[in-house]
Amino acid sequence: MAGAKPKLAFYWAASCGGCEITITELGMQLIATGEKVDIVFWPCLMDFKYSDVEALEDGEIDVCFFNGAIRSSENEHIARLMRQKSKVLVSFGSCSHTGGIPGLANFYDAESILERVFDTAPSVDDSRGTRPAPSVEMPEGTIEIPTFYDQVQTLDQTVDVDYFMPGCPPVADQVWNVFQTILNGGLPERRATIGADAKTNCDVCPREKGEGGFRVKEWKRPHEVELDPDVCFLAQGVICCGPVTRAGCGLPCISGNMPCRGCYGAPEGVVDQGAKLLSAIGALIDTEEPEAVADIMDTVVDPAGLSYRFGLANSLLSALKYGNNSEEEGKV
């Protein structure tokens, strides 16, 4: 209907809730946005039900911001429902975009995770060995819980996504700029990454890298070094994901004298962020003795978790583990 407010929706799947918080950090800007749009689904903030979405016409929602990975049957069901009801579906935040922290579970399978949590983890009571039942009969009826999947998937591995908005979480300024772009009808070509830059964090980082480059004899963790706030972390022997991470966050971690964690995902042209990082730090090793390379790389604590902190779910490693991990398979 001409003159009607655009309809927006927000959903939170397998994630920590930080993406929801960054939206509320808009403050008065959020109120101004709320005057221009009609929020038809935001269960984190208001009392909406899935039936409210099911009652909408297909494509009635103009834009849906979907944060969180696909960890369970409920996550998948709602992802497909929101795709069906939305004209534009935005993969919002690292967990939805690349799997995020929940995606690290792909190093294991569902059974080993359930065994650890419910059977072997230390407990202060006698609940060890008790697992949640998939279905329980109650006087009021049958209670069913979602199926816990073996594989954590990104939103785009589950349904067709229109735009990608990275970040853990996306920073408030980025969210505000995207909101304005949508309201002004200025969205770029479909399947683009929005609210972020084409450059890497290394490209925009102001820290000194040295004229002749540098080499590293040992990798250390941030708490093991008295970090110089003006010098490149890599030059100080501390791994930073800046060279393999898309810019656009405003460098809050680096400004706080901590290395980039990689949450904005890989820049254009990089297929696997983790592999690219290992290649980058390997190229900085200072030794002419091939047998010493392994010793230096052994100083990297948890190389897999470090390299794939946010991107394991859409990595080549997950593709190899789970077989045909095509992003087109199973989409609606």
- What's the pTM value of the predicted model, to 2 decimals? 0.91
pLDDT in tens, 195-211: 999 999 999 999 998 77
% residues pLDDT > 90 (the chain): 78
Of the pLDDT bands very low, low, confident and very high (cuts 50, 70, 90), residue 332 is: low
**3-state DSSP assignment of residue 75:** helix
Average pLDDT, the chain: 92
pLDDT in tens, 5-32: 999 999 999 999 999 999 999 999 888 8
Q: What is the pLDDT of residue 316?
A: 94
Residue boundaries of the structural domains of the chain: 7-102+150-183, 109-148, 201-321
Q: What is the pLDDT of residue 1?
A: 40
Alpha helices in the chain, H assignment, sequence order: 18-24, 28-34, 50-54, 73-85, 94-98, 110-114, 172-183, 201-204, 252-255, 273-282, 290-297, 303-307, 316-321
**3-state DSSP assignment of residue 314:** coil
Q: What is the pLDDT of residue 326?
A: 47
Question: Per the structure block, which two tokens stand in for 98?
Answer: 């690349």
Contacts 24+ apart (CB under 8 A), 202-208: 202/240, 202/242, 202/243, 202/245, 203/247, 204/247, 204/251, 205/232, 205/242, 205/251, 205/254, 207/231, 207/232, 207/233, 207/254, 208/232, 208/235
Of the pLDDT bands very low, low, confident and very high (cuts 50, 70, 90), residue 212 is: low
pLDDT of 306 higher than 90: yes
- The CATH superfamily of 7-102+150-183 is NADH:ubiquinone oxidoreductase-like, 20kDa subunit (3.40.50.700)
